[in-house]
């Protein structure tokens, strides 16, 4: 009597395929507050900021003469009303920006290539952005450190 070794999966596969009804895996849509709506025209999926703040680069800051700090690698932008999503994507690529998030009102928080440690270099970048035809607002972002704990 000779015994032939056969993998258990080979023996059970035809039995399971015919006797077990197939159940489709549930399709879970993304949370409504986490991504912007996606249309059939492949609209971008930028992170929608509703009740959360964007994750900004706290390691790259520049100080104003007043003592306040600004993010030097993150800015906020608002596009003119007639700018399409595809034109925004081209704009971000052209300026090597990454979208950190966008509000429902269309205010973008973006990462920019580090302009350097000087305040003038950040202001130069903002001035250039303000003079591009697609942009209606380009502004620096205030950094607000956590308040020290009080006893």
Is 108 part of a structural domain of the chain? Answer: yes
- Establish if 148 belongs to a structural domain: yes
- The reported pLDDT for the residue numbered 3 is 52
Pairing of strands 98-102, 61-63: unpaired
Q: What is the pLDDT of residue 44?
A: 76
Q: What is the pLDDT along the chain (151 residues), one digit of tens a residue?
A: 545 554 544 444 444 444 444 444 344 444 333 444 444 345 678 999 988 888 999 999 999 999 999 999 999 999 999 999 999 999 999 999 999 999 999 999 999 999 999 999 999 999 999 999 999 999 999 998 766 666 6
Number of domains in the chain: 1
Supply the DSSP symbol for 47.
B
| Helices within the chain (DSSP H only) | 8-19, 85-94, 119-130
Residue 135 and residue 78 in contact, taking contact as beta carbons nearer than 8 Å: yes
In a domain, 3, yes or no: no
The number of beta carbons lying within 10 Å of the beta carbon of residue 43 is 14
pTM: 0.68
Give residue 53's pLDDT: 82
Residue 37 domain-assigned (yes or no)? yes
Domain that holds residue 63: 31-151
Confidence at residue 49, expressed as pLDDT on a 0 to 100 scale: 93
Tell whether 11 is covered by a domain.
no
45 belongs to a structural domain: yes
Distance in angstroms (rounded) separating the CA atoms of residues 123 and 129: 10
């Amino acid at each position: 009597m000779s015994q032939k070794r056969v993998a258990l999966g080979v023996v059970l596969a035809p039995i399971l395929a015919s006797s077990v009804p197939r159940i489709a895996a549930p399709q879970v849509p993304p949370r409504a507050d986490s991504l912007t709506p996606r249309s059939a025209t492949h609209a971008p999926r930028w992170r929608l900021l509703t009740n959360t703040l964007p994750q900004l680069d706290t390691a790259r800051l520049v100080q104003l003469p007043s003592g306040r700090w600004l993010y030097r690698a993150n800015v906020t932008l608002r596009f003119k009303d007639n700018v399409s999503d595809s034109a925004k994507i081209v704009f971000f690529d052209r300026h090597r920006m990454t979208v950190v998030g966008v509000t429902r009102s269309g205010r973008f928080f973006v990462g920019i290539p580090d302009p350097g440690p000087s305040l003038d270099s950040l202001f130069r970048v903002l001035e250039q952005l303000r003079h591009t035809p697609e942009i209606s607002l380009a502004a620096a972002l205030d950094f607000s450190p956590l308040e020290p704990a009080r006893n």
